[in-house]
Chain A
């Protein structure tokens, strides 16, 4: 069953779709959540912590949507403030120190737009993550599980391997925002979604992502065991591959990967 880009946008945003914490719970063992950026505050739109993947200690960073309205308000609908990105970076630098691989789950409509976010340097926070992740001396794997919105997603997306779930989307802006800027009409989001080329299939074809992780018929929520099994396989084989490279080789190929886009 082939979904249209707009159907994928709607599916990717469905509240029933598994969230970052669901993946953490199903794929890893002994998760210890770590909070705060040590600079300003804790941002609950991003969950971070440590866990075992099989017997390998890893650092996990996940953008977290709520499963209901109350949770969504607490999670700010998975739209991080600068402190969320700074917490992510703190944990990544910690991962580098202890030679732990970093696994990121991306699911955000975008970085939050607001007064506080601007006052505290949303642009600076994202920019710093892009540069630091490029140089981070430990493997990074990122998976776009549902919505990959703009720079807010990219700030967790500079990785040795980048994946998207079959029905996930990843784009420069929401189709609504895109339509309102380019067509001066936010109701043209459906046709914007077609023009934008935001599906996993498009991005794989472009070489922007390394591979597509299949979902069961109807989407990830219909058979979560199937999806987490696939994600687990990908992480397992990538870690083997990346950990067999020297760090300099790995960084060189990380650089080349994005340099060629």
Chain B
């Protein structure tokens, strides 16, 4: 069974009579331990796709299945609880709670899950250390660079051991060498821990770390390039 699967999923926005097919009949399957890149030009529907995968948007058509379970029948509170345990998320911006330190931001994910224990704390520090933030544990987000904030978000997306990790442009605010380091760490963690990872990026060099690259254009998957 795939960790993550979509069956001809579509999202249509209606704008003054015209309709925008932001995601258009996309079917995909992602296995445990597989790291997939979602590439494509701006406006091609990548973020919308992530929102569908996370259950933040309801598809107008088709199905999203996580660990074989359809999101369609879940209600809002149920979806929130489901996201909390099964999904790790990083956003294009506004990733962190501004008044919590780096460590607290990562631990928040465990607190939300009601699972903050010794092991969890240790895992948070370990992840942050691997992401090169071992010395910034007690800094506030405002004291970090954009790239450092992205890395904190990555640690938060992994700390509760979700089956799926969704990352929207995690390298957008990083310089090239830092970007390589972050994405390779993310790829390693996903592979090691057997999670299903989806990373949005239009930087093809970053896509090199993915097992597969899915190209989107105008809401459709146009081709599938296998890199590894």
The answer to whether A and B assemble together is no
Question: Chain A interface (Cβ within 8 Å of chain B)?
Answer: none
